[in-house]
């Protein structure tokens, strides 16, 4: 698959939140205001891009030569957990402003299924190293797009007169559903029309 096709697939067609349901907890939990949604989105994109590369290297240079592929779930989650910790420490050291913006979101990312999800999907699709990296960034950008749109919708919803039982989470889910409906316009046919 060409790189453009991977980008379009992971940002729009197989958007992690709206069609794959990976990373829903932060999507509902951190989408109350746009600023923190943007922070979370970028933090996830960052970690997903690095995690895709690192898990790829671990899978093809450690697990396969040793014949330990059945341990991939344990290995990946440990790699991701230590990676998140490492990224947190490095960012704190190198760029305090970036740490201030992303810092509080980083620990939450370990248990974000989107990160483990992309690592497993890269292996299932047997992507190469660069393809995995592109898939990781694109899936992260798709997450960013969905969570920022959602935060904007929810900020407006706060000003509306929502019926009491629907306030908060239920109306967020329903808006998410309507967004997913709109994203159904992006499908495989679009990809063939665009790239021939």
For binding to other proteins (CB under 8 A), which residues are involved?
18-25, 28, 70-74, 77-78, 81-82, 110-113, 116-117, 120-121, 124, 164-166, 169-174, 176-178, 180-181, 184
Nearer CB in complex with other proteins: 35/187:
187
Nearer CB in complex with other proteins: 38/120:
120
Distance in Å, CB of 139 to other proteins, minimum: 12
Nearer CB in complex with other proteins: 6/13:
13
Distance in Å, CB of 117 to other proteins, minimum: 6
Nearer CB in complex with other proteins: 82/95:
82
Give the separation between CA 37 and CA 35, rounded to whole angstroms.
Answer: 5
Distance in Å, CB of 134 to other proteins, minimum: 19
Nearer CB in complex with other proteins: 124/193:
124
Give the separation between CA 105 and CA 148, rounded to whole angstroms.
Answer: 15
Residue 41 in contact with residue 144, Cβ under 8 Å? yes
Tokens, residue 68: 């330990």
Give the length of the chain: 196
Distance in Å, CB of 24 to other proteins, minimum: 4
Nearer CB in complex with other proteins: 108/191:
108
Residue at token pair 């706060």: 158
Q: Say which residues have a Cβ less than 8 Å from residue 30's Cβ, sequence separation at least 6.
A: 36, 37, 40, 105, 108, 147
Residue 118 in contact with residue 133, Cβ under 8 Å? no
Distance in Å, CB of 81 to other proteins, minimum: 6
Distance in Å, CB of 21 to other proteins, minimum: 4
Query: Could you give the residue ranges of the DSSP H alpha helices within 59-168?
Result: 64-66, 72-94, 96-102, 106-109, 113-124, 129-157
Give the separation between CA 148 and CA 41, rounded to whole angstroms.
Answer: 8
């Amino acid at each position: 698959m060409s790189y453009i096709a991977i980008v379009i697939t992971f940002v729009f067609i197989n958007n992690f939140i709206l069609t794959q349901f990976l990373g829903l907890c932060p999507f509902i939990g951190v989408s109350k205001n746009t600023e923190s949604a943007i922070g979370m989105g970028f933090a996830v994109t960052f970690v997903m891009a690095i995690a895709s590369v690192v898990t790829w290297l671990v899978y093809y240079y450690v697990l396969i030569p040793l014949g330990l592929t059945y341990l991939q779930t344990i290995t990946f989650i440990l790699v991701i957990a230590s990676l998140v910790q490492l990224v947190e420490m490095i960012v704190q050291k190198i760029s305090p402003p970036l740490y201030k913006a992303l810092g509080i979101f980083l620990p939450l990312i370990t248990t974000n299924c989107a990160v483990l999800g992309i690592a497993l999907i890269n292996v299932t699709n047997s992507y190469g190293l660069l393809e995995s990296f592109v898939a990781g960034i694109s899936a992260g950008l798709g997450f960013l797009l969905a969570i920022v749109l959602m935060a904007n919708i929810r900020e407006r919803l706060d000003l509306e007169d929502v019926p009491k039982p629907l306030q908060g989470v239920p109306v967020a889910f329903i808006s998410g559903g309507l967004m997913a409906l709109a994203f159904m316009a992006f499908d495989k046919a679009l990809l063939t029309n665009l790239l021939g």
